[in-house]
Structure 1
Amino acid sequence: MLIYILSRGANLYSTTRLYQAAFAKKHNVRIIDHMHCDLLIEDGIYKVIFNGEVLIRPDAVIARIGSSNTYYGTTVVKHFEEMKVPVYNTSKGILASRDKFRSMQILAASKIRIPKTYFSYDLHQAERIIAQKFNYPVIAKLIEGTQGAGVYLLNNQIEANNAFNKFISDNTKVLLQEFIAEFKGKDIRAFVIGGKVVAAMMRIAEGDEFRSNLHRGGRGEKIVLSEEEKEMAVRSVKALGLKIGGVDILRSKKGSMVIEVNSSPGLEGIEAVTEIAVADKIITYIEEHI
């Protein structure tokens, strides 16, 4: 097969591992920077031009679209879709997962347990809503953000007032979620490929840090998911229209709940902690479904 990996960095761990896994299985594989792609529609024919070269139609595309280039990245992905190329993941799935509140809407509609969540363009009302529905501390999240960036813990009204004033001044849109105190500084990452959880780990924050992301100094541990958590992770990925996804889960007094689904989950942490070759499983899944 000819496989394109859409990625901004050929040296990124996840990109490198996918390249190695595909190459080891004797596939032709190229890393394409989607931000350097030009898109042409001529007489109803879709073409992708990369650094002046009209790309051959591949057998599959693996889309590693970062949050900072969601719009153009998904436009490139959509172009390949119109060329009838199987894409992992689709533009629709990436967009659904990237908007944090929209993803919560979709998960809730699919009867998947999520934390209490609030979103409004008018943050002047947010403090009143916290008092009525949440209480402090409360989590504030940027609508788009990854690896723990744009996630804040607001411990009291003074912190909330300062944060909201800055958000309003910067025209930044955020959502609020209830803080799960009993699972502070921890979360579970379940890696789903084609309707199956292939790897899972517990992420634990360093010191007093409430964000457990490995990129923020957290550490990972092996974990065994309950059958409910496995089903929850698989249903979450499916609900958002994804084939490959990283599902973040918290364990609360109300039961396990999903806090986020990542359409371009990193491989480095999950492979190191679980000692499972997740990249190889992705390539095998693509082989089986082309």
Structure 2
Amino acid sequence: MQGGTKRILLVTGLSGAGKSTVLKTLEDLGWEAVDNFPVRLARPLLDLPPADAQSEADMPLALGFDSRTRGFEPAKLIAEIKELQKRPDLEIMTLFVDCAGAEIERRYAETRRRHPLAQDRPAIDGIAQERTLMLPLRDWSDLVIDTSRMSASDLQAEIRNRFRLPDGRMTISLVSFGFSRGVPPNADLIFDLRFLQNPHWIADLRPLTGLDTAVGEYVAADPAFGGAIERISDLLLYLLPLYEAQGKAYVTIGFGCTGGRHRSVFVTEKFSALLREEGYAPSVNHRNLHTRPVDALEWQGNQARPMYND
């Protein structure tokens, strides 16, 4: 951290949305993480001198709190945070972890835990009550991550991409995905590759993925491939320096096809190589690479069912 500024991330959100996963991942990244921390105690905590002036002073701090935290009152918390943000030695950001009520209810049913605000009532009642209680914080937070369609590993990857300790360069994440399985919730740029010929309908290519040479050769043979890749390359190489100049620390770029196993994977790998040649160091996540190929999903967008080419 430059100039003696202490970086602090306040992590809050709905119970069951993934706050604990966020804090554990931050801890793995080298953050000092404290859960269920009363924000009113943040000021005296920050005034304490570190035991090791070199290591702990530079270590970013993540403080987790939610509706279960003692003395939780959103309006007072926001006022307290605003006061702390006036300090020139602190850089404070608030992250809200959100999730759809039905998904939170499913998670509680799966773990057989009781919702903290519905000990003697259905979980959905407590979820609705908590959402109303937390709404002012959600609206005020700097960043909202919706985990409704995220697995724990998806959330961990998102936190690693956004909050790993900076090395002075913008962090670029490339993700391949299938539109039939949902769009990545936090992508900054998305490119739809469903205009390219689909290897799924070639019997020999169907069980393979975009990491296999034969699939790549088939996708690259599409007459539209070269022109599209050239134009997307020009756009990315134009935009990325502009994002970096504006101080954007993280950019996530999604490449999608129908199932997320062939075209999007091949193109993502191609752009990973391109960006590395340009001096960037993108991380790559093939979200649906290992999913089962399903004809019914691949028919989406086709007026008639394609025939297999043997």
Same fold (TM over 0.5): no
> Who wins on radius of gyration, i.e. which is larger?
2
Going by fraction, where is strand more abundant, 1 or 2?
A: 1
TM (norm. structure 2) is 0.29
TM (norm. structure 1) is 0.30
